[in-house]
Amino acid sequence: MVQELHAASQASAETSNTCCVATHPTLDTRTLTAIENAIYSCECSGRCNKVTIAKHQKRLLKLAGQTDLFNSRETARHILNLTRSPHPTIKTPNTKPLTKRYIKNLLDTYAIFCTANQIPYDKPKIRAENPKQIIPTTEQVTKIISASSSKYSTIFTIMAETAAEGEELRQTPREQIDLDQGIISLTGTKGHNNGIFRLKTKTADLLRKYLAKTTSQTKYPFSKPKALGETWRRARTEAANKFSEPELAKIPLKNLRNYAGAIFYKTTGRKDPIATMRYMRHKRIDTTLHYLQTINLDEPEEYITVAIQLGTPETQKRIIEYSNAGYTKLTEADGYQYFRILKTLSQPTK
């Protein structure tokens, strides 16, 4: 692993534009070993996925070429005083100051390095507002999913129903899927708890068809996060052009999780933050509250209403079907029982 970090440090030095890095094209073994310790601690913690670990590694390699990582006071001061470096190939470089979020991420990464290597570190306190979460509408999500293939539309529908991350689905082996009951068991990543979800009837049927097209020897049947991201970007661009809605092209794949949380909060969760925290598999309630702040409770909600004729051989079966699907019982009139549910991606057919 040290050799890999050494090679990465050379690449980092070549692409960096600061004169300090230019005078240190390679890093010594002591520094590389210390960075390896930090990366290993991330892997063992279970709170970081591969993408996050790669970001930590890149930040530490870059900082190592700019300052002495073993001097925490000097490194903290260096991070706080960072400015954008001019890029030789860009005629009009970005002159905006570095964001507080960027500085805080560097400080957090360096804190991991210090903890892993037992270096005393008084981390500077910097308040950085979390970016406001964007919650797409059901109509927007449906349009993007409809622009993808049957394979990926199944995966995106599961993500929109379970609030699963792409990496969490990728790490879900076939044995954690109960096709008979339509249940999927997710192993949490990025600090999320594990979770078990019973899929809606329509979604479970899509999953059965999806798995039928993969061989039983395929232990992990879902695509890698990179492939999911690329497919989503193509689908959203196609949907934006097809429906002449440019805002569709701005919706990232990660916002499917925000959408799932908002739908749960408004429907099954009955606007209960604790229930929503469990559904989103957050470890802390303040993380859930950050998501809930962006939900517009004043916007008009679209419902699907179903009328079931009473006194027929199918009456009991249909009432059970819609009750299990989360429909709310309304009034009874003229020999019909009415049910309704907030419009989402998957409801049983009428």
Kindly report which listed range (35-49, 164-178, 231-245) carries the lowest average pLDDT score. 35-49
Amino acid found at 67: T
**Per-domain boundaries in the chain:** 2-116, 138-261, 303-342
- Per-residue confidence band for 21, with pLDDT thresholds at 50, 70 and 90: very low
pLDDT at residue number 205: 94
Q: What is the pLDDT of residues 262-305, one digit of tens each?
A: 989 988 777 899 999 999 999 999 889 888 887 875 555 667 88
Q: Is 243 exposed, middle or buried (0-12, 13-18, 19+ CB in 10 A)?
A: middle
Q: What is the pLDDT of residues 69-111, one digit of tens each?
A: 999 999 999 999 988 766 555 555 556 678 888 899 999 999 9
pLDDT at residue number 86: 61
pLDDT at residue number 17: 36
Gap between the Cα atoms of 259 and 201, Å rounded: 20
Q: What percent of the chain has pLDDT over 90?
A: 58
309: Cα within 13 Å, side-chain hemisphere: 5
Contact 331/338 with Cβ under 8 angstroms? yes
Gap between the Cα atoms of 15 and 17, Å rounded: 7
- Per-residue confidence band for 236, with pLDDT thresholds at 50, 70 and 90: very high
To the nearest whole number, what is the mean pLDDT of the chain? 84
pLDDT at residue number 241: 96
pLDDT at residue number 326: 75
Instruction: Please say if the pLDDT value at position 23 is more than 60.
Output: no
Gap between the Cα atoms of 29 and 235, Å rounded: 46
Instruction: Please say if the pLDDT value at position 129 is more than 70.
Output: no
CATH superfamily of the 138-261 domain: Intergrase catalytic core (1.10.443.10)
Instruction: Please say if the pLDDT value at position 249 is more than 60.
Output: yes
Spell 116-141 as b/e; 16+ CB within 10 A means b: bbebebeeeeeeeeeeebebbebebb
User: What distances in angstroms separate CA 124 from CA 75, 111, 327, one per listed residue?
Assistant: 11, 10, 51
| 115: nearest Cα among 166, 60, 164, 161 | 60
Strand segments (E) across the chain: 177-178, 183-186, 195-198, 303-309, 328-333, 336-342
Token pair recorded at residue 92: 């009009």
- Per-residue confidence band for 350, with pLDDT thresholds at 50, 70 and 90: very low
